[in-house]
Amino acid sequence: MISIFHLLHCLYFVIKQDASANASSGHFTRENWSNKRDYVLSMIGYAVGLGNVWRFPYLTYKNGGGAFLIPYFTMLLVTGIPLFFLESSFGQFCSQGPINIWRFIFSPLFPGVGIGMVLVTLLISIYYNVIIGYSLYYMFASMQSPLPWTSCPNTTTTTTCSDKPFVFCNVSGILTQSVQTCNPSNIIKMDVQSPSEYYWDHVALERSGGLDQTGPVVWHLALCLLLSTFLAGATLIKGIKSSGKVVYFTATFPYVVIFILLIRGVTLEGARDGIEFYIGTQSNLTKLAEAQVWKDAATQIFFSLSIGLGGLMALSSYNNFHNNVFTDTIIVSVTNAATSIFAGFAIFSIMGHMAHIYKLPVAEVVKEGFGLAFIAYPGALTKLPVSPLWSVLFFFMILTIGLDSLFAEIEVVLTSLQDAFPRVLKPRRALLTIATCTFIYLLGLPCVTRAGIYWVTLIDSFIASWVVLFLVLLEVVGVSYIYGLDRFIDDIEMMIGEHSPRFWLWWRLCWFLFTPCILLVILAWSLSTFTAPTYGDIRFPSWGLSLGWCMLFFVLIWLPIAAIYHLKQSKGSLINRMRSKSAPSKDWHPFLDMHRGERYPKNERVQGVDIPNEVDERSSHCL
């Protein structure tokens, strides 16, 4: 009890100190990263997410193995890096979050894009927090020997749980177990749950039969969700000064674990078969002729770099103005792609060992998403000596990868709110962080009921999908065709210095032609092939699907609302209003007066905020 009171007293002191320190200064400065390493590691931690570990390896195997790397790196060059460069440049130029960026650069027509990005990020942070809660639970559950999902529980209610599928022989309509002498055409295999799948469904999730069977809160998951929220809040409570130091561990430790798992994996019997299926001689170059392969590559690049969620703008907004954002873009993008490939070797080497033990093809043991992280891989780890050690390491890796992304997602919300209401919220950073994390935790509670996994799937299917593609399409069209590439390039050169026209030729082609065309094709394809989401064989009720469409509608409705509101504030005909409102507002400029040069007017105040003198920023340019 004394420790709880002590914790509350310390928390109160942090909030009070945070508010008084800013209020006494007489102005509200914008933070900068302590050094460039903080920023680069934060961006790597944000970009390298769970999809790098549990989706990319599966896509590579599914789409021709090593051949998949050709469309993957092509799409990285044509869409991923150009969009990453664009968003990072925006944030660094005006030192604002996504809402203010889109309010200032296209004052009347596009502020809804920024609002939509923040809302998407908020919804994604809810279920991302839940996934981290799952990882915490499995990490704690791994601290016992043997692992609790090593074998099926010894009860009479688990007849569908088995290490191997049930095989019967159909003899004149009667099922017998005499399969040795059975005609192959009469052999029937009954699907059963593996011990790890049974544990996931019945112990970890306590999963109900559908979305309409909510059931009570699963309290062990609710407590893990609370711990996840606390870790995020404690890291972000003092702003980027604290989170920038935490990422030194959370952004680098996953690589240590992946390397350890890889070394252990390649020494196992059957590992070569798994790697061959992943990226070896099983590569199928004929897959390159299939349009689906190129679509999968573009989609994976797009979402793995976290483009269109506002995080790149928010994190880069704390950069020094003359930071070389182009170099950072290349470093983070290449590191993200290399991490995906590297993680795939660790995953498939152990999957190959599992296939060898069960004497099954690798294709029958490999899964993606939740199936890989919480069923297939944990099941494979039970076959290793000292399995609790490897299990703890694996789930701790998932935890740190997830936390990095969650930090940035919550920071997007905090930055946008502080930029919108600087005088009220900037002096109260700690209180705002606690309120935001509490809100995210409360919204996450339905996702830790017995129907929680269905809610997670619903949010993921409707929000982290084509709606993000649509927002980014508006983004690149707005920059290329409304704001103007010449003006945008001039803005970038104010930060990184002038470059030759040949340097900008590739970026012009991508922003003006290649990227928007590819986005349009993927968006149209995603819409035309959209099917109602399911969890396994379980379909969602109609009211659940309607709720999913309502979430999507809530994100997109701000686009017309914001545009109509701003147009009504103008005078003249509709065409004249749109013409006058299709130019950047007077508030679009570098944050500090000293950086505006001759292209932007100098003022003593920015949005009613006094500007302090900036310290020398060139001392921290290099890593």
Contact 86, 511 (CB under 8 A): yes
SS3 175: strand
Residue 498 to residue 350: CA distance in whole angstroms: 49
Question: Is residue 405 a known part of a binding site?
Answer: yes
In the chain, where the domains are located: 33-151+197-580
Question: Is residue 521 a known part of a binding site?
Answer: no
Question: Is residue 3 a known part of a binding site?
Answer: no
Residue 228 to residue 406: CA distance in whole angstroms: 10
| Residues 375, 296, 130, 531, CA torsion sign | negative
- What is the predicted pLDDT for the residue at 240? 85
- What is the predicted pLDDT for the residue at 54? 81
What is the Cα gyration radius of the chain?
26
* pTM, entire model: 0.86
DSSP state of 68: G
Structure tokens at 139: 């990490």
Structure tokens at 617: 């920023």
- What is the predicted pLDDT for the residue at 467? 87
> Which among 271, 226, 256 is positioned nearest to 448, based on CA atoms?
226
Considering the four listed CATH numbers 1.20.1740.10, 3.40.30.10, 1.10.645.10, 2.40.37.10, the one that applies to the domain covering 33-151+197-580 is 1.20.1740.10
Question: Is residue 66 a known part of a binding site?
Answer: no
Which residue is listed with tokens 């051949």?
Answer: 67
DSSP state of 604: S
216: exposed, middle or buried (C-beta count within 10 Å: 0-12, 13-18, 19+)?
Answer: exposed
Residue 19 to residue 193: CA distance in whole angstroms: 54
- What is the predicted pLDDT for the residue at 333? 94
Question: Is residue 266 a known part of a binding site?
Answer: no
Question: Is residue 304 a known part of a binding site?
Answer: yes
Residue 346 to residue 264: CA distance in whole angstroms: 9
- What is the predicted pLDDT for the residue at 582? 65
- What is the predicted pLDDT for the residue at 434? 95
What's the average pLDDT block by block, 10 residues per block, for the chain (623 residues)? Answer: 43 40 46 88 90 83 82 92 94 89 72 90 94 95 92 67 68 59 64 84 91 92 96 91 87 90 88 81 78 85 88 92 93 93 87 80 72 84 89 92 92 91 88 95 95 92 86 90 89 89 93 93 86 87 93 91 79 69 71 76 51 37 32
Residue 200 to residue 189: CA distance in whole angstroms: 23
> Which among 287, 296, 295, 307 is positioned nearest to 518, based on CA atoms?
295
- What is the predicted pLDDT for the residue at 382? 87
- What is the predicted pLDDT for the residue at 327? 94
Question: Is residue 404 a known part of a binding site?
Answer: yes
Question: Is residue 52 a known part of a binding site?
Answer: yes
Give the torsion through C-alpha atoms of 329, 258, 129, 379, to 10 deg: 150
Contact 64, 279 (CB under 8 A): no
DSSP state of 168: E
Contact 320, 621 (CB under 8 A): yes
